[in-house]
Amino acid sequence: MLHNGEQEREPLDFLPTERNTAVNDQTPNETSKNFIEIEIEKDFATKPALAGKQVATRFPPEPNGYLHIGHAKSICLNFGLARTYGGTCNLRFDDTNPTKENDEYVQSIMEDVRWLGFQWDALYYASDYFEQLYQWAVQLIRDGKAFVCDLQSEQMREYRGTLTEPGKNSPYRDRSIEENIDLFQRMKAGEFPDGARTLRAKIDMAAHNLNLRDPVMYRIMHAHHHRTGDKWCIYPMYDWAHGQSDSIEGITHSICTLEFENHRPLYDWFCQSLGIYHPRQMEFARMNLSYTVMSKRKLLQLVTEKHVEGWDDPRMPTISGLRRRGYTPESLHLFCERIGVARFNSTIDVIVLESSVRDHLNSIASRYMAILDPIKVVITNYPDSTEFLDAVNNPEDESAGSRQLPFSKELYIEREDFMETPPSKFFRLKPGGEVRLRYAYIIRCDEVVKDEAGNIVELRCTYDPETKSGSATASERKVKGTIHWVSANHAASVTVRLYDRLFLNENPEDVPAGKTFLDNINPDSVRSVQAFVEPELAAQAPGTRVQFERNGYYCVDTKDSQPGHPVFNRIVTLKDTWAKIAAKK
Ligand code: ATP
Ligand code: MG
């Protein structure tokens, strides 16, 4: 993978603001309304059922894994609508599948929503409604709109038909209401084994939409539920639980992803058949991200098979992983704004995510100097003393102030900032050449010291005292390059983890026969190095985000850092290194 040494550098490399504005130019008008907002406004203006109501949305995760960046999109959309229109947004756990769900996931989801800056108006669980759903199912049976079916899942599939052929009625479809009620009660009482029977809606086996071909409402599952324990052994299907939960909560707009578009007629059928309050389901496109897998099932596989260190591994696209990596809530909001709300499925370039965090950190992160691959510089004409130089913490934010930077005779610079036989446009240090040290002086390289094997071990240089940054005489002499450095005797040694993308391919799931997405894992997605950094960096608290000048943004890891021994996670490089590789191809 890309090592720092392979990044190209421009002569004066301290202009992240300018670089980043290119991204802003491409973004759509961030104040324009999305299609969901337009529809909501239309509904409130025209539908009598909404008179006097407020916009009410919900975010309905299934607690079967940690949330990912796709969920962040849904969270920003649902909570954002409530905020925009002064309405409400509930957090509802869609916990109808007891075998895959647990409380660890519930807790992590709440933490992630809060971290994104949202507070739900009410917290619910679909399991809160199990009793009401059961009563409503009985009502549908009494109305002749639901029946108990003894077909096994394999047979049910055969009876279902295909997209081009109608299905066949189940032989159990015409059971009497009394028999259905009796069997359904006995299903609930636990008299039958898993899979023996189902409760199905009685709609139309010839419907073009397969979801309307007598869909299953309940299945028998003798499983312990993380909240209701062993009270239930029949569990509602998503379609039966979801719309009814929305209805109970008075949701006005139930926003879900496109794969549920075909379920909408069923959503409507249930509400209409029960004669209950009827929310409007609306769909938007699922977000996909290049170089990323996003299904919880695959993320779970990465965790359980230990391809990563956990759900919050800084390479994971989970909200907890992004948080630990150093992403800010603001950067995720910015990202969600920039990608907008799409009607059709597409894949977002991960560069948009990376530039969102770069843009936010550019304005808030203090700058420091860090040397990841050191080469020693000895300034032969400098005294054996320490001088403290004034360094600006953040040129984008005056209130960040400045600090005192120790400078002395022995320094480290990046190995890549020196070349013995450089090309003509190389403006950093070279034999006989001059370069400016950031915040300090112009130095000239007089001698290259090598070990017996021919490796460069030291550069012997001289400095010009008249060129001190900020002094009256500094501007009299100009050089084309400025490089960063740290004072060898003052530097702290810290661990730096250089993260890169977890997958090598733009679409990790696009694999030839016999391969899986796991074959696309980037073997160099993390590399750990010891770096020499300014002394102040050793004292940064976990979670602090900084810029290593000319390099990238880093965050002090919240798990592996010890007091005085921070571990820095690379959040993102200052420039998009992958675009350069693509351009060279
Ligand atoms: P996954 O397939 O990754 O497990 P899911 O849709 O099953 O996702 P849920 O917990 O059911 O996960 O999702 C909660 C909400 O988040 C749903 O409303 C869903 O539509 C939305 N959501 C999930 N993934 C995305 C995505 N990639 N883009 C936008 N919204 C998403
Ligand atoms: Mg799901």
Contact 219, 198 (CB under 8 A): yes
Indicate which atom in ligand 1 lies nearest the CA of residue 299. Answer: 3
Which of 19, 37, 39, 62 does the annotation list as catalytic?
Answer: 62
Taking a C-beta distance cutoff of 8 angstroms, is the pair 368, 548 a contact?
yes
- For the chain, the farthest-separated pair of C-alpha atoms sits apart, in whole angstroms, at 102
CB of 87 shorter than 6 A to ligand 1:
no
- For all residues of the chain together, what is the average pLDDT? 93
Question: Which is the catalytic residue, given 173, 227, 286, 415?
Answer: 286
Which residue's CA lies nearest to atom 2 of ligand 1? 295
CA 526 – ligand 2 centroid, Å: 30
Active site residue 296: yes
Handedness of CA 178, 182, 187, 191 (dihedral sign): negative
Any idea which ligand is nearest the CA of 294? Answer: 1
| CATH 2.40.240.10 domain locations along the chain | 296-366+494-584, 370-484
Cα 358 → chain centroid? 14
In this structure, which ligand is nearest to the CA of 60? 1
Q: Which ligand is nearest to the CA of 297?
A: 1
The arithmetic mean of pLDDT across residues 368-396, rounded, is: 97
Say how many Å lie between the CA of residue 75 and the centre of ligand 1: 10
Write down the pLDDT at residue 215: 98
Structure tokens at 552: 């990238």
Q: What is the mean pLDDT of residues 489-506?
A: 96
Torsion sign over Cα 134, 137, 142, 148:
negative
Q: Where in the chain is the domain with CATH 3.90.800.10?
A: 130-236
Q: What end-to-end distance do the CA atoms of the chain give, in Å?
A: 15
pLDDT confidence of residue 29? 47
Binning pLDDT at 50, 70 and 90, where does residue 580 land? low
Per-residue confidence (pLDDT) for residue 1, from 0 to 100: 35
β-bridge partners, 257: 284
- Give the CATH architecture of domain 130-236: Alpha-Beta Complex (3.90)
- 10 Å CB burial of residue 5 (0-12, 13-18, 19+) is exposed
**Alpha-carbon distance values, 143 to 44, 178, 275, 278 (Å):** 32, 11, 12, 19
Report pLDDT digits (tens) over 282-310.
999 999 999 999 999 999 999 999 999 99
Residue 549 has pLDDT above 80, yes or no: yes
Q: Which CATH superfamily, name and number, covers 370-484?
A: Ribosomal Protein L25; Chain P (2.40.240.10)
Instruction: Report which ligand 1 atom has the smallest distance to the Cα of 74.
Output: 30
Predicted TM-score (pTM) of this structure? 0.91
CB 242 near ligand 1, within 6 Å: no
**Ligand 1: does its nearest atom lie under 6 Å from the Cβ of 24?**
no
Q: Is the pLDDT of residue 16 over 80?
A: no
- The string of DSSP codes covering 441-508 is -EEEEEEEEE-TTS-EEEEEEEEEGGG-TTSTTGGGS--S-EE--EETTTPEEEEEEEE--SBSSSST
Question: What is the DSSP annotation of 170-212?
Answer: -TTTT--HHHHHHHHHHHHHT-S-TTS-EEEE---TT-SSGGG
Using the predicted structure, report yes or no on whether residue 370 has a pLDDT greater than 60.
yes
Residue 584 confidence (pLDDT) above 90: no
Quote the pLDDT of residue 346.
Answer: 87
User: What is the model's pLDDT at position 528?
Assistant: 98
CA–CA gap between residue 271 and residue 257 (Å, rounded) = 20
| Mean pLDDT of all residues in 342-358 | 94
Give the model's pLDDT for residue 9.
33
pLDDT tops 60 at residue 106: yes
pLDDT for position 474: 87
Structure token pair of residue 295: 């299904």
- Residue to probe by mutation, ligand 1, list 64, 74, 97, 108, most atoms within 8 Å of CB: 74
Assign 187 a pLDDT band (cuts: 50, 70, 90). Answer: very high
For residue 67, the ligand 1 atom closest to its alpha carbon is 10
Question: Which entry of 296, 315, 403, 545 is annotated as an active-site residue?
Answer: 296
Q: Does the pLDDT of residue 11 top 50, yes or no?
A: no
If you measure from the C-alpha of residue 323 to the centroid of ligand 2, how many angstroms do you get, rounded to a whole number?
Answer: 23
* Candidate from 64, 81, 257 with most ligand 1 atoms within 8 A of CB, to mutate: 257
Percent of the chain residues past pLDDT 70, beyond the cut: 93
Q: What is the DSSP code string of 123-175?
A: EEEGGGGHHHHHHHHHHHHHTT-EEEE---HHHHHHHH--SSS-----TTTT-
User: Which has the closest alpha carbon to 498: 416, 394, 570?
Assistant: 570
Find out whether the beta carbon of 62 lies less than 6 Å from any atom of ligand 1: yes
pLDDT band at residue 356, thresholds of 50, 70 and 90?
very high
State the number of CA atoms in the 13 A half-sphere of 429 facing the CB: 29
The answer to whether residue 62 is catalytic is yes
39-68: pLDDT as tens digits: 999 999 999 999 999 999 999 999 999 999
pLDDT value for 243: 98
Q: CATH second-level architecture of 296-366+494-584?
A: Beta Barrel (2.40)
What distance in angstroms lies between residue 62's CA and the mean position of ligand 2's atoms?
A: 6
